[in-house]
């Protein structure tokens, strides 16, 4: 059985741990590999190597650091389909969806290659007579990243390329559910010319994360994952005086106005809610129909009836299995709770299966109406292919409903009215808003700006805020005495 290696001090090494976790293909339960829980001494070695490497890496010219990112982006493009295929096997995504996972990560690496422009500080001449002030953005030191299962290429790439191009060293702890993709990312990073020790990869769960949260050498932690774990990491990390950014769970609403284009609504809502098996933090889990838009539910239902999950290389499959048996059980129990608590289940995907892959963690597309905000189905993050439809009379009611939600990751509005769109985008308390765009994930020259209970921290992931997160600003105020120059040993010029 293949054991997933660690990357420590530039070497891919076998862990001495005897605590191993199976990496499972969720479509058929095949064990693809085993991932070791990194031992304490291996964690120490990774942190020590990252600390030592920082001393020299921070002084490598920014142009050289950026060139590694250019090479890395090119290599990722060359290996794009290979990476997507690894994702398909260890996470079950369809090939098209997996390619998107890789591509959205490549875009962040391209942005990292722009670091020379992004890391420029500010200058001001003559802040007082003959005194100038200027600032530099300098790296922090050792940074660490803890990533979730649902985007095993994109989310590690949200983190380590930006951190490293800024002059930091980085320790990645990827999800134990799909570590094969991040390991391939690491191999390609070394191939792109990353010096040894700049990136370390360790594996495991809470004990390994705790080690990163406790070690003084680790200056900043980037986390993406569930709310409960994010809250723990944010509070423990900040208690230990680290900088922490934690992108966490979500419950995203799409508001549908009666003046919207019905065909666009139906096409977009179906894909945005059940695509990627609902395992997207920006996917839509609640659709709020305003006024007469409620009459479109039949068409949404017809759209759901055309959705067929399947295995990754089935070109007609809309999405793949859930990541694990535990995830599937959690989704089924929330579907059951919806029925018990009085919602109407128009389509129930609880008993879905795929011929030849009966062991897969399948959940079929599931559609509820008459959902109220007191139901668990509404309150809990389902992270599965389940859409809850709700009905309100006015745009104000829709806005109030969303603003009451503890989450604030993404939302979208479908309308043909600019005035409605303007009011919605201004009043809504959510960090990423789509106007006739169902899943408004910002490209990497912006930042990923979840709000409220969907983000803990101050400075968001990637984009300019990502650069800020991974750097410290140093502000220099300087004065040079002209009489010193004029009277210096080699100075013949008279400045006066
Ligand atoms: P998770 O919180 O279970 O795991 C995330 C990471 O934390 C993994 O690396 C895991 O090993 C580690 N971890 C798990 N338990 C831990 C503990 N007790 N202490 C320390 N570390 C621990 O999340 P997941 O199931 O892998 O991912 C799905 C979640 O991620 C969903 O809630 C989803 O909304 C969220 N997510 C959010 C965003 C965003 O940008 N806001 C993006 C993707 C996913």
Q: Where are the alpha helices (DSSP H) in 281-381?
A: 297-305, 325-340, 376-379
The reply to whether 177 falls in a domain is yes
Residue 223 shares a structural domain with residue 321: no
Q: Which protein residue's CA is at the shortest distance from atom 24 of ligand 1?
A: 148
Ligand 1 centroid from CA 493, angstroms: 65
- Tell me: the pLDDT tens digits for 238-297? 999 999 999 999 999 999 999 999 999 999 999 999 999 999 999 999 999 999 999 999
DSSP secondary structure code for residue 436 in this structure: S
CATH code of 363's domain: 3.40.309.10
Ligand 1 centroid from CA 381, angstroms: 13
The reply to whether 382 falls in a domain is yes
- Return the H-helix or E-strand segment holding 414: strand 410-414
Whether the CB of 252 sits within 6 Å of ligand 1: no
Ligand 1 centroid from CA 486, angstroms: 63
CATH code of 474's domain: 3.40.605.10
Q: How confident is the model at residue 494 (pLDDT cuts 50, 70, 90)?
A: low
Q: Give the residue numbers annotated as catalytic, written as ranges.
A: 281
The reply to whether 149 falls in a domain is yes
Q: Which atom of ligand 1 is nearest to the CA of 229?
A: 2
Ligand 1 centroid from CA 358, angstroms: 27
Least confident range from 206-210, 306-310, 483-487: namely: 483-487
pLDDT surpasses 80 at 485: no
E runs forming strands in 212-349:
218-224, 243-247, 252-256, 284-290, 344-347
Q: Which of 72, 73, 75, 95 is nearest to 84 (CA)?
A: 95
Whether the CB of 154 sits within 6 Å of ligand 1: no
Residue 238 shares a structural domain with residue 360: no
Residue 23 shares a structural domain with residue 170: yes
Q: Which protein residue's CA is at the shortest distance from atom 40 of ligand 1?
A: 247
Q: How much is the pLDDT for 423?
A: 98
pLDDT surpasses 70 at 493: no
pLDDT surpasses 70 at 492: no
Q: Which protein residue's CA is at the shortest distance from atom 8 of ligand 1?
A: 175
pLDDT surpasses 60 at 160: yes
Residue 411 shares a structural domain with residue 298: yes
Ligand 1 centroid from CA 349, angstroms: 25
- Tell me: the pLDDT tens digits for 385-424? 999 999 999 999 999 999 999 999 999 999 999 999 999 9
Q: Which protein residue's CA is at the shortest distance from atom 30 of ligand 1?
A: 225
Residue 240 shares a structural domain with residue 336: no
Stretch 76-82: mean pLDDT: 98
Share above pLDDT 70 across residues of the chain, in percent, rounded to a whole number:
98
Q: Which atom of ligand 1 is nearest to the CA of 228?
A: 2
Whether the CB of 250 sits within 6 Å of ligand 1: yes
Which residues span the domain enclosing 117? Answer: 6-248+461-478
The reply to whether 236 falls in a domain is yes
Whether the CB of 42 sits within 6 Å of ligand 1: no
pLDDT surpasses 80 at 487: no
Residue 242 shares a structural domain with residue 273: no
Calculate the average pLDDT of the chain.
97
- Return the H-helix or E-strand segment holding 211: helix 206-214
Q: How much is the pLDDT for 482?
A: 85
Residue 63 shares a structural domain with residue 186: yes
Place of tokens 């919806």: 338
Tally the domains of the chain. 2
Q: Answer for the pair 380, 408: CB distance below 8 angstroms, yes or no.
A: no
Q: Answer for the pair 216, 374: CB distance below 8 angstroms, yes or no.
A: no
pTM for this one?
A: 0.96
- Return the H-helix or E-strand segment holding 170: strand 169-173
Whether the CB of 391 sits within 6 Å of ligand 1: no
- Return the H-helix or E-strand segment holding 101: helix 95-112
- Tell me: the pLDDT tens digits for 202-248? 999 999 999 999 999 999 999 999 999 999 999 999 999 999 999 99
The reply to whether 107 falls in a domain is yes
């Amino acid at each position: 059985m293949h054991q997933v290696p660690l990357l420590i001090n530039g070497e891919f090494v076998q862990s001495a741990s005897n605590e191993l976790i199976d990496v499972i293909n969720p479509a058929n339960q095949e064990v693809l590999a085993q991932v070791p829980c990194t031992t304490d001494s291996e964690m120490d070695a990774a942190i020590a190597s990252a600390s030592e490497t920082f001393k020299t890496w921070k002084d490598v010219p920014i142009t050289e650091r950026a060139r590694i990112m250019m090479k890395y982006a090119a290599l990722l493009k060359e290996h794009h389909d290979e990476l997507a295929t690894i994702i398909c096997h260890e996470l079950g995504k369809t090939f098209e969806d997996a390619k998107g996972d890789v591509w959205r990560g490549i875009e962040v690496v391209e942005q990292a290659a722009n670091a020379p422009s992004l890391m420029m500080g500010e200058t001001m001449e003559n802040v007082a007579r003959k005194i100038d002030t200027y600032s530099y953005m300098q790296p922090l030191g050792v940074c660490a990243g803890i990533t979730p299962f649902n985007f095993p290429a994109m989310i590690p790439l949200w983190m380590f390329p930006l951190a490293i191009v800024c002059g930091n060293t980085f320790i990645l702890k990827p999800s134990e559910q799909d570590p094969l993709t991040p390991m391939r990312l690491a191999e390609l990073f070394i191939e792109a010319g990353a010096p040894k020790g700049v990136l370390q990869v360790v594996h495991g769960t809470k004990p390994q994360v705790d080690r990163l949260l406790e070690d003084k050498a680790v200056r900043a932690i980037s986390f993406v994952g569930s709310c409960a774990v994010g809250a723990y990491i944010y509070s423990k990390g900040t208690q230990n005086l680290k900088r922490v950014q934690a992108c966490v769970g979500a419950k995203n609403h799409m508001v549908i106005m009666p003046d919207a284009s019905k065909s666009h609504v139906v096409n977009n809502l179906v894909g945005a809610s059940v695509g990627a098996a609902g395992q997207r933090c920006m996917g839509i889990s609640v659709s709020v129909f305003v006024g007469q838009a409620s009459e479109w539910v039949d068409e949404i239902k017809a759209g759901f009836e055309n959705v067929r999950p399947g295995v990754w290389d089935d070109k007609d499959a809309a999405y793949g299995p859930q990541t694990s048996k535990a995830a599937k059980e959690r989704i089924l129990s929330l579907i059951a709770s919806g029925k018990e608590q009085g919602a109407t289940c128009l389509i129930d995907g609880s008993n879905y299966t795929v011929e030849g892959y009966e062991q897969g963690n399948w959940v079929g597309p599931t559609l509820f109406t008459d959902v109220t905000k007191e139901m668990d189905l509404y309150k809990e993050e389902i992270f599965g292919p389940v859409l809850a439809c709700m009905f309100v009379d006015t745009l104000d009611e829709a806005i109030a409903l969303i603003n009451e939600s503890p989450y604030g990751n993404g939302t979208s509005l479908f309308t043909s009215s600019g005035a409605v769109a303007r009011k919605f985008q201004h009043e809504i308390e959510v960090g990423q808003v789509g106007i006739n765009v169902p899943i408004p994930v910002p490209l990497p020259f912006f930042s990923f700006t979840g709000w409220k209970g969907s983000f803990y921290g101050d400075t968001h992931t990637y984009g300019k805020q990502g650069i800020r997160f991974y750097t410290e600003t140093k502000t220099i105020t300087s004065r040079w005495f002209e009489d010193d120059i004029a009277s210096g040993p080699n100075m013949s010029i008279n400045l006066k």
